[in-house]
Chains A and B, each alone.
Chain A
């Protein structure tokens, strides 16, 4: 590889990472603001202004950064930062705003599945390093929740990849491949459609647990554990976790959009380069908003917090069974449709 190509990659890494970091932080906080405003209206409250999350971060930066007596200071201080950069790094593998991933050949869906563990794991390590019983109980609950929701999520990923493999597609875990061959275009009949619809619902229900939102937020549980694994965090450290939460919302919504709704409007409307790009970005942000609305806002205002045993049960029994049914329906789809077309 020559110097020119290397410098191009270097510039791409530097400016791409900085640009995606700005995108993730800004829209993470914007969607947080929208979620808070909408949920307040649904509960008959006025709620905070849309820009409140930005104010919260600014306020946290001028607050004292308290390290408890029994905490392990270097882990306690470092881990919020690790959580944030780990979450931001996922954005380089995702197609955003109608554009292909920044590094489409740098990692695939399996890598993203593993990287999604980082923010939750950082919360767990931060909780354990706090030296507070509330935080330790919260960290244990977060671990149990992580173990619970990974199972149906993994079945969903395998189903999408298997279906593409059956259609003769190569690099089935690549986001570029998945985005260019939408799942709804691959179904042969109603069974496949129902199967993928079930899997979409499962993914929408995995999202609140990934984001530690009600009803799957027993790890934080303000009324019971006073914030759980974040109880001892304050100031700039809490600001880092706050930003991580916002970025993770964008990441999870972008994954759902990439897996199930990778369509763009520019091709449909026959728009030119610049108008098309703008329309696609706006359409992408709208799709992300819809995902946040259905998987976070509507669920958290309508259901009360579940206990940790109920969370484990929900993911391991009904949702795992539902995702297996989805997998079987997708498998039967092509077999049965082939039978009818040949008969």
Chain B
């Protein structure tokens, strides 16, 4: 009942939600036994910065682009080639798009 089937895979989301609900109630109750209080507005609520003074949130901002650093650094050789090919012009971008699409259609047509 209510099982989603894709032909090779299957999943019953209702069952999963019920399991989540039961375990949520259980652990919400268990969590309630833990201490909930702390000293608001004291040093302990400031972000831990290894003893350094906490700057304003704007100054502590971490750029989202940092996420890609691991990828761009580990595959520097590939990205350096791609960067050279990337001119920043929309017309060039569309030309690449059309060329790749043409190659794909050609492959599909041959197959």
- By the criterion of a CB under 8 Å from any partner CB, how many residues of chain A are at the interface? 65
Q: Which of B14-47 contact A (CB under 8 A)?
A: 15-16, 18-20, 22-24, 26-28, 31, 33-39, 44-47
Q: Would you call B18 and A13 a contact (CB within 8 A)?
A: yes
Q: Would you call A18 and B22 a contact (CB within 8 A)?
A: yes
B90 touches A (CB below 8 Å) = no
A106 touches B (CB below 8 Å) = yes
CB distance from A182 to the nearest CB of B (A): 20
Complex Cα distance, B1 from A85, in Å, reads 23
Which residues of the other chain, A, contact B49 by a CB distance below 8 angstroms? 132-134
Complex Cα distance, B68 from A134, in Å, reads 17
Which residues of the other chain, A, contact B18 by a CB distance below 8 angstroms? 13, 17
State which size class the interface on B falls in: 35 or more
Complex Cα distance, B70 from A148, in Å, reads 10
Instruction: Give the residue name and chain of the A residue nearest to B59 (CB).
Output: A133
B3 touches A (CB below 8 Å) = yes
Which residues of the other chain, A, contact B22 by a CB distance below 8 angstroms? 13-14, 17-18
Q: Which of B49-102 contact A (CB under 8 A)?
A: 49-50, 57, 60, 62, 64, 66-71, 73-75
Q: Would you call A89 and B10 a contact (CB within 8 A)?
A: no
A105 touches B (CB below 8 Å) = yes
Residues 204-218 of chain A: 1 if any B CB is under 8 Å from the residue's CB, otherwise 0? 000000000000000
| 16 A-B contact pairs sorted by A residue (CB < 8 Å) | A17-B19, A61-B35, A62-B34, A64-B35, A81-B31, A86-B20, A92-B19, A105-B3, A107-B11, A110-B9, A131-B57, A134-B49, A143-B67, A172-B8, A174-B10, A316-B74
